[in-house]
Amino acid sequence: MAIRLASLILFLGTATFGVAQCPNVHVFGARETTASPGFGTAASVVSSIESAFPGSTAEAINYPACGGQASCGDVSYAQSVIDGVAAVANQVNAFNSECPNTVLVLVGYSQGGQIMDDAYCGGGDLNEGLTSTAIPISAAAQKKIAAAIFMGDPRHIAGLSYNVGSCEASGFAPRPAGFQCPFAANIQSYCDATDPYCCNGDDLNTHLGYAVEYGAAALTFVKNKVNAMLGSSGSTGTGTGTGTGTGTGTGTGTGAGTVAEFGQCGGTGWTGGTVCVSPFTCQELNSFFWQCL
The string of pLDDT tens digits covering residues 48-70 is: 999 999 999 999 999 999 999 99
Per-residue model confidence as pLDDT tens for the chain (293 residues): 444 444 433 444 434 334 549 999 999 999 999 999 999 999 999 999 999 999 999 999 999 999 999 999 999 999 999 999 999 999 999 999 999 999 999 999 999 999 999 999 999 999 999 999 999 999 999 999 999 999 999 999 999 999 999 999 999 999 999 999 999 999 999 999 999 999 999 999 999 999 999 999 999 999 999 999 998 765 544 444 433 333 333 333 344 467 777 677 777 666 677 888 787 788 776 565 677 77
pLDDT tens digit sequence for 142-169? 999 999 999 999 999 999 999 999 999 9
Residues 6+ positions from 44 with CB-CB distance below 8 Å: 211, 212, 215
Predicted confidence at residue 253, as pLDDT, reads 39
SS3 for the chain is CHHHHHHHHHHHHHHHHHHHCCCCEEEEEECCCCCCCCCHHHHHHHHHHHHHCCCCEEEECCCCCCCCCHHHCCCCHHHHHHHHHHHHHHHHHHHHHHCCCCEEEEEEECHHHHHHHHHHHCCCECCCCECCCCCCCCHHHHCCEEEEEEECCCCCCCCCCCEECCCCCCCCCCCCCCCCCCCHHHEEEECCCCCCCCCCCCCHHHHHCHHHHCHHHHHHHHHHHHHHHHHHHCCCCCCCCCCCCCCCCCCCCCEEEEECCCCEEECCCCCCEEEECCCCCEEEEECCEEEEC
Q: 188 φ, ψ to 5°?
A: -130, 130
Global confidence as pTM? 0.77
Share of the chain above pLDDT 70, in %: 81
| Cβ contact 212:95 at 8 Å | no
Predicted confidence at residue 233, as pLDDT, reads 64
Active-site residue identified among 56, 80, 110, 170 = 110
What structural domains and CATH numbers belong to the chain?
A: 23-235 (3.40.50.1820), 246-293 (no CATH)
Predicted confidence at residue 246, as pLDDT, reads 38
Predicted confidence at residue 16, as pLDDT, reads 38
Name the β-bridge partners of 28. Answer: 59, 106
Predicted confidence at residue 271, as pLDDT, reads 67
Quick check: is 110 catalytic?
A: yes
Please, is 133 exposed, middle or buried when counting C-beta atoms within 10 Å of its C-beta (0-12, 13-18, 19+)? exposed
| Cβ contact 254:271 at 8 Å | yes
